[in-house]
């Protein structure tokens, strides 16, 4: 097994077996205002949406998890089958290993069983400095992805035993990649959130969407410290809570994916009311796949989203984006200082 393959396996084992969720999304500080008379038919609530030109039955994607090994291939194919069946999107894990070891391509390939889904490729921002745009885009082409997510994971790399920490020149590399790419490039975090200043820089570099991956879900600082990295105790909730990151990124002028600790359909509804176009999650999907209950999880989330829409008089996802809400506590303070 190569070092990259070993790391992939460690990540899957730690995420499935340890408690790796830290901090809060701050979505508990968003209250959607209830209507006793929705004046719409529950059965006519329409959760469907479009994102970057693709149709979704509800505004949800399963964000990057894995690829590169036999076990990863099984996970990707299980997710893809359900995503196709349920009409949601999915991302594959980092395709770095596909560039290092082209024989692993098939562990990422799911188009044969998921011809219609929104499918996102994935690469680390550090790798786009190491490899040419052509090498990176060739890997994305090979899996017939609709978009390429570039993960910006400086915090994770600091706590990774073998982490790459030279993050100089990343915006230039990203700009070169965006210019060469024939598909949308999405900038994503992995659990520490993206702020408004960076969001605007990313848009200037050419990204088509931003995936917040804020605080409140899986902590990659914790996951990699459990593999022998530095003591994470002061940084367990480091970063921007997902609710705050959605507000920050929504000001940058491109569609936003709300993710990092999204666990329910109500979380999704709140995130959309704050300005997100789509929501995403990773850890709950991985655990559900391992326990063969991904369909049940998505059914539950779909019901919760639909109920939140019904009770806020939102017949469509665009109505939900305008739903009445009250923001309280630290999220209100954050907005007061940051969103002037």
Ligand X SMILES: Cc1cc2nc3c(=O)[nH]c(=O)nc-3n(C[C@H](O)[C@H](O)[C@H](O)COP(=O)(O)O)c2cc1C
Q: How many residues bind ligand X (CB under 6 A)?
A: 26
CB of 4 to ligand X, least distance (A): 10
Q: Quick one: 46 or 100, whose CB is closer to ligand X?
A: 100
Name the minimum Å distance from CB 44 to ligand X: 30
Q: How far is the CB of 335 from ligand X (least distance, A)?
A: 22
Check residue 94 for interaction with ligand X (CB under 6 A). Answer: yes
Instruction: Tell me the closest approach of the beta carbon of residue 257 to ligand X, in angstroms.
Output: 10
65 near ligand X, rule: CB under 6 A: yes
User: Smallest distance, Å, CB 117 to ligand X?
Assistant: 16
Nearer to ligand X, 21 or 176 (CB): 21
Cβ-based nearer residue to ligand X, 225 or 314:
225
Number of neighbouring beta carbons within 10 Å of residue 332: 14
Closest to ligand X by CB, 45 vs 97, is 97
CA distance 311 to 322: 13
Stretch that binds ligand X, among 7-15, 78-86, 158-166, 227-235 (CB under 6 A): 7-15
Residue closer to ligand X by CB (options 114, 267) is 267
* Pairing state between β 30-32 and 325-327: antiparallel
Contact 250, 256 (CB under 8 A): yes
As given in the structure block, the two tokens for residue 340 are: 């002037």
Per-residue binding string, ligand X, 254-283, x by CB under 6 A, is -----xxxx------------------xxx
**Contact with ligand X (CB under 6 A): which of 15, 97, 155, 278?**
15
Site for ligand X in 188-217 (CB under 6 A): 188, 190-191, 213, 217
Taking Cα atoms as reference points, which of 321, 304, 323 lies closest to residue 313? 323
Contacts (CB under 6 A) with ligand X, residues 99-138:
122
Q: According to the binding rule CB under 6 A, does residue 229 interact with ligand X?
A: no
218 binds ligand X (CB under 6 A): yes
- For ligand X, the binding residue among 23, 68, 89, 93 (CB under 6 A) is 93
Which residue's beta carbon is nearest to the bound ligand X?
A: 217
Is the CB of 218 or the CB of 273 nearer to ligand X?
A: 218
Binding test (CB under 6 A) with ligand X, winner from 170, 286, 294, 311: 286
- What is the nearest approach in angstroms of ligand X to the Cβ of residue 66? 5
Q: For the chain, what is the HEC assignment? A: CCHHHHHHHHHHHHHHHCCCECCCCCHHHEEECCCCCCCCCHHHCCCCEEECCEEECCCEEECCCCCCCHHHHHHHHHHHHHHHHHCCEEECCCCHHHHHCHHHHHHCCCCCCCCCCCEEEEEECCHHHHCCHHHHHHHHHHCCCCEEEEECCHHHHHHCCCCCCCCCCHHHHHHHHHHHCCCCEEEECCCCCCCHHHHHHHHHHCCCEEECCCECCECHHHHHHCCCCCCCHHHCCCCCEHHHHHHHHHCCCCCEEEECCCCCHHHHHHHHHCCCCEEEECHHHHHHHHCCCHHHHHHHHHHHHHHHHHCCCCCCHHHHHCCCEEECHHHHHHHHHHCC
Interacting residues with ligand X (CB under 6 A): 11-12, 15, 63-66, 93-94, 122, 149, 151, 188, 190-191, 213, 217-218, 259-262, 281-283, 286
């Amino acid at each position: 097994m190569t070092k990259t393959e070993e790391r992939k396996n460690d990540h899957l084992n730690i995420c499935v077996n340890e408690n790796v969720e830290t901090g809060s999304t701050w979505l508990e500080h968003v209250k959607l205002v209830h209507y006793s008379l929705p004046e719409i038919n529950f059965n006519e609530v329409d959760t469907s949406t479009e994102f970057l030109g693709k149709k979704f039955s509800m505004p949800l994607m399963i964000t990057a998890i894995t690829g590169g090994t036999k076990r990863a291939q099984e996970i990707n194919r299980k997710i893809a089958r359900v995503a196709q069946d349920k009409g949601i999107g999915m991302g594959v894990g980092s395709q770095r290993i596909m560039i290092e070891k082209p024989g692993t391509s098939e562990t990422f390939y799911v188009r044969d069983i998921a011809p219609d889904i929104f499918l996102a490729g994935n690469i680390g921002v550090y790798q786009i400095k190491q490899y040419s745009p052509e090498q990176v885009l060739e890997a994305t082409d090979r899996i017939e992805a609709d978009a390429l997510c570039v993960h910006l994971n400086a915090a994770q790399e600091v706590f990774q035993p073998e982490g790459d920490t030279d993050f100089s020149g990343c915006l230039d590399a990203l700009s070169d990649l965006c210019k060469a790419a024939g598909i949308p490039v999405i900038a994503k975090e992995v659990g520490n959130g993206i702020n408004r200043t960076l969001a605007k820089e990313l848009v200037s570099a050419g990204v088509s969407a931003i995936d917040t991956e804020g605080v409140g879900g899986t902590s990659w600082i914790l996951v990699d410290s459990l593999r022998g990295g530095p003591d994470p105790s002061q940084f367990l909730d480091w970063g921007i809570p997902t609710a705050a990151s959605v507000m920050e990124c929504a000001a940058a002028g491109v569609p936003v994916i709300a993710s990092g600790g999204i666990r329910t359909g109500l979380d999704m509804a709140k995130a959309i009311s704050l300005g997100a176009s789509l929501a995403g999650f990773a850890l709950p999907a991985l655990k559900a796949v391992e326990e063969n209950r991904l369909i049940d999880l998505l059914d539950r989330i779909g019901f919760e989203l639909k109920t939140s829409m019904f009770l806020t008089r939102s017949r469509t996802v665009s109505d939900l984006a305008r739903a009445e809400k009250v923001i309280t506590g630290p999220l209100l303070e954050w907005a007061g200082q940051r969103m002037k």
